[in-house]
């Protein structure tokens, strides 16, 4: 049985994709940065892959027929993904499932759009998964603001956003990589509800048992805080563009495509927040 290569394997989505594929008895190769270890079980083979180093491509693609491809979060220039996409075409990969973003097909301002276009030009058999905003961004990128300041600090104004659980996205990825009928398809994956960030703060408040607010910062204030926390310019630029779309009302659409793929209703933010309330405990509470 040929393997499925999972890029971003140690990240929020990638790790869940690995778990879902193992549940389906698939042979999995986990792509890791050179010198790193994925920490998965012995049945998962670690392969070194650096999108910026073509010398890693051949070994990473050896014995692989399908690929779960995702853009590193800090990479804003889609051209940096082209050499690996071209290498997949040369190696005659049978399917690439690319983790894009909601609306990327018609939005040239997000880096995923350029990657989608090059993937289509490559001649590779592709499947595009375009999820809405991950709930897990709240428990990773924005966790410190919530835990230390009781704030959801994003420049989305009064725009409404659709939220999705990364675990549900991973389940959809596993479906399209292990069942037929998905080549050449683009799936807009969303949850079933849309919320303003004031509503997000209220939902987190109820789950955590304390008041969490949404101060609605400006783009400049957001950029300043992100850079002060150590984020690099590329990552801050990508996040800023995402929240601009939310502010403009372009992140509020919903579809039923996720439910049709995974065969169950998607998780709501309230359900996810209740399951993960401990993650948002104040630092003083975490030390008890």
* pLDDT tens profile 87-98: 999 998 999 999
Tens-digit pLDDT string for the chain (288 aa): 699 999 999 999 999 999 999 999 999 999 999 888 889 988 999 999 999 999 999 999 999 999 999 998 878 788 999 999 999 999 989 999 999 998 888 888 788 999 999 999 999 999 999 999 999 999 999 999 999 999 999 999 999 999 999 999 999 999 999 999 999 999 999 999 999 999 999 999 999 999 999 999 999 999 999 999 998 888 888 888 889 889 988 889 899 999 999 999 999 999 999 999 999 998 666 545
Q: How far apart are CA 181 and CA 285, in angstroms?
A: 49
Q: 160-164 and 185-189 as β-strands: parallel, antiparallel, unpaired?
A: unpaired
> Domain map of the chain by residue range?
3-133+165-189
Q: How far apart are CA 114 and CA 116, in angstroms?
A: 5
Instruction: Output the CA torsion 36→40→46→50 (10° steps).
Output: -50
CATH topology of domain 3-133+165-189: Rossmann fold (3.40.50)
* pLDDT tens profile 100-120: 998 888 888 788 999 999 999
Q: How far apart are CA 162 and CA 215, in angstroms?
A: 19
Q: How far apart are CA 83 and CA 66, in angstroms?
A: 17
Q: How far apart are CA 264 and CA 147, in angstroms?
A: 32
Three-state SS at 32: strand
Are the CB atoms for 262 and 191 separated by under 8 Å? no
b/e sequence 97-110, b meaning 16+ C-beta within 10 Å:
bbbbbbbbbeeeeb
- Whole-prediction pTM: 0.92
- Can you state the angle between helices 219-228 and 233-247, rounded to 10 degrees? 150
């Amino acid at each position: 049985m040929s393997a499925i290569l999972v890029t971003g394997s140690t990240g929020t989505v990638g790790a869940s994709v690995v778990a879902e594929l193992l549940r389906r008895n698939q042979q999995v190769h986990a792509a890791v940065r050179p010198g790193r270890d994925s920490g998965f079980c012995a049945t998962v083979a670690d392969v070194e892959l650096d999108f910026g180093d073509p010398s890693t491509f051949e070994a990473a693609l050896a014995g692989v027929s399908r690929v779960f491809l995702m853009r590193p979060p800090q990479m804003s220039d889609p051209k940096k993904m082209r050499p690996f996409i071209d290498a997949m075409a040369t190696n005659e990969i049978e399917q690439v499932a690319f983790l894009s973003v909601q609306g990327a097909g018609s939005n040239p301002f997000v880096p995923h759009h350029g990657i989608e276009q090059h993937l289509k030009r490559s001649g590779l058999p592709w499947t595009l998964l375009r999820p809405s905003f991950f709930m897990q961004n709240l428990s990773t990128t924005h966790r410190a603001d919530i835990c230390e300041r009781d704030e959801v600090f994003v420049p989305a104004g009064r725009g409404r956003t659709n939220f999705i659980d990364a675990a549900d996205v991973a389940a959809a990825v596993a479906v399209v990589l292990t069942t037929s009928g998905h080549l050449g398809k683009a799936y807009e994956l969303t949850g079933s509800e849309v919320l303003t960030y004031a509503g997000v703060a209220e939902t987190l408040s109820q789950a955590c048992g304390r008041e969490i607010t949404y101060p609605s910062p400006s783009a400049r204030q957001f950029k300043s805080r992100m850079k002060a926390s150590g984020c690099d310019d590329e990552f801050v630029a990508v996040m800023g563009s995402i929240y601009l779309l939310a502010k403009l009302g372009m992140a509020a659409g919903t579809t039923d495509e996720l439910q049709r793929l995974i065969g169950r209703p998607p998780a709501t933010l309230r359900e996810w927040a209740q399951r993960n309330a401990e993650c948002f405990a104040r630092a003083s509470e975490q030390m008890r």
